[in-house]
């Protein structure tokens, strides 16, 4: 498509998305990050230039992809004159209008995935959610998204926020339960490795079955003997005992309402 992109941000998402674009023939002309090491590492991997100064962000990119933490979003963008170029953010939680004081051409490009800098992901299966202020801009984002993914949809900011919340439950909170499981095992010198096949199968099951129908274990059976014995066993992990109790109760309530 012969388009030039500039990346504002060089974190996990910026790294994976810019590399996916580059692999599909888009040109990344520049990477900006406040952190020189991040900017340089990403720019090097893309064989492009970087800057840590907002003044040096170049003016001739076709689209500016903003992949910043929400907490520094306005602080960084308010220093850049985009000259009404097309600016697109990649955040699940920010609305489209978060960009409107910076340019007239605005959009959202939200890939629903968990990203790390060093773990490569297959973008072709990642759902990408698009939003824009005009039919023309929306069409351009759809074309770009369809180049890297087979699962692209237009969605408004309100729905995208719910998507993001659901992802927090299904990814961030799930990962924390893995952390808790690892800590409990460590207290008995058992390596986390023993849980890996179970974790893969738990994720695999809901690819085919609705999660509601995949539920097993003492809470859904309301097996009070086991639940109480587990709570007793967790007395040295006060915080996790509370979570055990409240998640078990939520499971019970879900199947008995």
Interacting positions 139-158 with a copy of itself (CB under 8 A) = 151, 155, 158
- Contact pattern for a copy of itself over residues 155 through 194, marking x by CB under 8 A: x--xx-xxxxxxxxxxxxxxxxxxxxxx-xx-xx-x-x-x
Q: Which of residues 116, 134, 143, 146 is near a copy of itself by CB under 8 A?
A: 116
Question: What are φ and ψ of residue 138, in 5° steps?
Answer: -60, -45
Q: Which is nearer to a copy of itself, 47 or 187 (CB)?
A: 187
Interacting positions 117-136 with a copy of itself (CB under 8 A) = 119, 121, 125-127
Q: Which is nearer to a copy of itself, 104 or 192 (CB)?
A: 192
> Cβ distance 143 to 130 under 8 Å?
no
Interacting positions 24-83 with a copy of itself (CB under 8 A) = 69-71
Q: Which of residues 22, 54, 115, 142 is near a copy of itself by CB under 8 A?
A: 115
Query: Minimum distance from CB of 2 to a copy of itself (Å)?
Result: 29
Q: Which of residues 3, 4, 12, 49 is near a copy of itself by CB under 8 A?
A: 12
Instruction: Give the closest residue to 16 by CA, choosing from 90, 117, 87.
Output: 117
Task: Report how far residue 21's alpha carbon sits from residue 40's, in angstroms, rounded to the nearest whole number.
Answer: 18
- What is the three-class DSSP state of 19? helix
Query: Minimum distance from CB of 56 to a copy of itself (Å)?
Result: 27
Instruction: Give the closest residue to 160 by CA, choosing from 90, 212, 211.
Output: 90
Task: Report how far residue 240's alpha carbon sits from residue 184's, in angstroms, rounded to the nearest whole number.
Answer: 9
Q: Is 239 in the site for a copy of itself (CB under 8 A)?
A: yes
Task: Report how far residue 254's alpha carbon sits from residue 257's, in angstroms, rounded to the nearest whole number.
Answer: 6
Write a three-state SS string for 154-171.
ECCHHHHHHHHHHHHHHH
Q: Which of residues 54, 96, 112, 154 is near a copy of itself by CB under 8 A?
A: 112
**The tokens of 211 are what?**
């999660």
- What is the three-class DSSP state of 83? coil
Q: Which is nearer to a copy of itself, 1 or 165 (CB)?
A: 165
């Amino acid at each position: 498509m012969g388009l030039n992109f500039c990346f504002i941000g060089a974190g996990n998402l910026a790294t994976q998305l810019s590399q996916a674009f580059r692999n599909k023939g888009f040109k990344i002309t520049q990477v900006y990050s406040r952190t020189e090491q991040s900017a340089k590492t990403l720019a090097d991997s893309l064989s492009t230039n970087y800057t840590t100064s907002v003044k040096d962000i170049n003016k001739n990119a076709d689209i500016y992809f903003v992949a910043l933490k929400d907490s520094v979003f306005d602080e960084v963008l308010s220093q850049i004159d985009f000259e009404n170029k097309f600016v697109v953010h990649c955040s699940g939680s920010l609305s489209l209008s978060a960009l409107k004081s910076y340019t007239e051409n605005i959009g959202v490009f939200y890939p629903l995935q968990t990203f790390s800098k060093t773990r490569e992901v297959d973008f072709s299966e990642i759902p990408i959610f698009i939003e824009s202020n005009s039919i023309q801009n929306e069409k351009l984002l759809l074309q770009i998204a369809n180049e890297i993914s087979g699962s692209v949809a237009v969605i408004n900011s309100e729905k995208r926020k719910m998507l993001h919340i659901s992802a927090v439950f299904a990814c961030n909170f799930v990962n924390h339960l893995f952390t808790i499981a690892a800590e409990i095992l460590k207290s008995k010198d058992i390596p986390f490795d023993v849980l890996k096949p179970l974790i893969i199968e738990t994720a695999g099951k809901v690819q085919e079955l609705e999660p509601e129908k995949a539920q097993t274990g003492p809470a859904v059976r309301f097996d009070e003997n086991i639940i109480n014995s587990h709570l007793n066993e967790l007395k040295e992990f006060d915080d996790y005992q509370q979570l055990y109790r409240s998640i078990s109760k939520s499971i019970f309530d879900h199947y008995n309402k």
